[in-house]
Amino acid sequence: MNFRLPLALALGAALLVSNAFAQDSDTLKKIKDSGTIQIGARDSSIPFSYKLGSGSEPIGYSNDICLKIVDAIKGKLGMPALRVQYTTLTSTNRIPLMQNGTVDLDCATTTNSVARQQQVAFAPSHFVTNITVAVKKNSGITSLAELGGKTVATVTGSTSIQLLRALRKADTVDVQEISGKDTADAFLLLASDRAVAYVLDDVQLAGLIATAPNPSDFVILKDVVLRQEPYGIMLRKNDPQFQALVDQTMTQMMKSGEMAQIYAKWFTQPIPPSGVNLNFPMTDAVREIFKNPNNKGV
């Protein structure tokens, strides 16, 4: 596999090809003509899509699923030597770079929302999470109400920001927002006491805490659930042939039990780099989407 293009080059290339691609959104043709599939990844979304160090390729639950889709594409196109090229995305650039053809699949932790469905398409959901709050144990904070007037960390462009603003608008709780560029950056805001809390999905919070230098310093407020959200692999809209291939591949994985095996690998067994086990058994919500695959948004 080839390593990702530097993001600056990817953005530059995107400007050159976006007009042409807008007239030809056949992803399978694009892949066949270029001999490469472009996958969007993350640096630190443990255990979905993350890197072990500078220069390494992404690994993780979502990445493994996407590589299974790549295998299906190889078979469909008769291209066993199809190259995989990664581009590291952020919450703010993932949709534009999907739309303009820079990436073909976003293989990370994108929430499938009704609003986003106006801009992109989603594969059947591969995870369901609870948006919750992490704090330091010594803060004494145990409820959402206790965050009133305090600084809370989120990730730029995430649904967490929208949820916090909705709470403030409803006079439920008034907090000050501070955003990190990605999940690791936002966690550092909490760890360094620039924020008293971090709003994110429960499993990513569990991953960040488990791999922190002092995991016992933090606690997740599991009784605080702002919303349940489905994660979906993102692809371009209005491409029925590619959508059908992705949907069929993932549905077969769910029905055969292969998806459950991949889940167990990343959520209930030791994972790189330190061999930590997240001990995050499959929830009823995840079992339900495996039993009845769908791409419904919130």
pLDDT in tens, 114-129: 999 999 999 999 999 9
Question: Are residues 79 and 91 part of one domain?
Answer: yes
Question: Are residues 120 and 12 part of one domain?
Answer: yes
Is the per-residue pLDDT at 24 higher than 60?
A: no
| Of the listed ranges 13-22, 44-53, 102-111, 119-128, the one predicted with least confidence | 13-22
CATH of the domain at 52: 3.40.190.10
Instruction: Measure Cα distances from 164 to 49, 151, 204 in Å.
Output: 25, 11, 18
For 88, the enclosing helix (H) or strand (E) is: strand 83-88
Contact 125, 263 (CB under 8 A): no
Question: Are residues 165 and 45 part of one domain?
Answer: no
pLDDT in tens, 182-198: 999 999 999 999 999 99
Question: Are residues 114 and 17 part of one domain?
Answer: yes
pLDDT in tens, 199-237: 999 999 999 998 899 999 999 998 899 999 999 999 999
| pLDDT for position 21 | 46
Q: Is residue 29 assigned to a domain? A: yes
Question: Are residues 239 and 140 part of one domain?
Answer: no
Residue 34's pLDDT band, with cuts at 50, 70 and 90, is: very high
Point out the domain boundary residue: 195, 211, 229. Answer: 229
pTM reported for the whole predicted model = 0.83
Question: Are residues 217 and 187 part of one domain?
Answer: yes
DSSP track, 217-266: GEEE-TT--SEEEEE--EE-SS-HHHHHHHHHHHHHHHHHTHHHHHHHHH
Is the per-residue pLDDT at 70 higher than 50?
A: yes
Question: Are residues 110 and 82 part of one domain?
Answer: yes
Residue range(s) defining the domain that contains residue 141? 129-229
Residue type, 131: I
Question: Are residues 269 and 164 part of one domain?
Answer: no
pLDDT in tens, 162-175: 888 888 777 778 89
Contact 27, 236 (CB under 8 A): yes
Residue 6's pLDDT band, with cuts at 50, 70 and 90, is: low
If one counts the domains in the chain, the total is 2
Is the per-residue pLDDT at 145 higher than 50?
A: yes
Token code pair at residue 266: 């990343």
Q: Quote the mean pLDDT of the chain.
A: 91
Contact 108, 44 (CB under 8 A): no
Question: Are residues 122 and 253 part of one domain?
Answer: yes
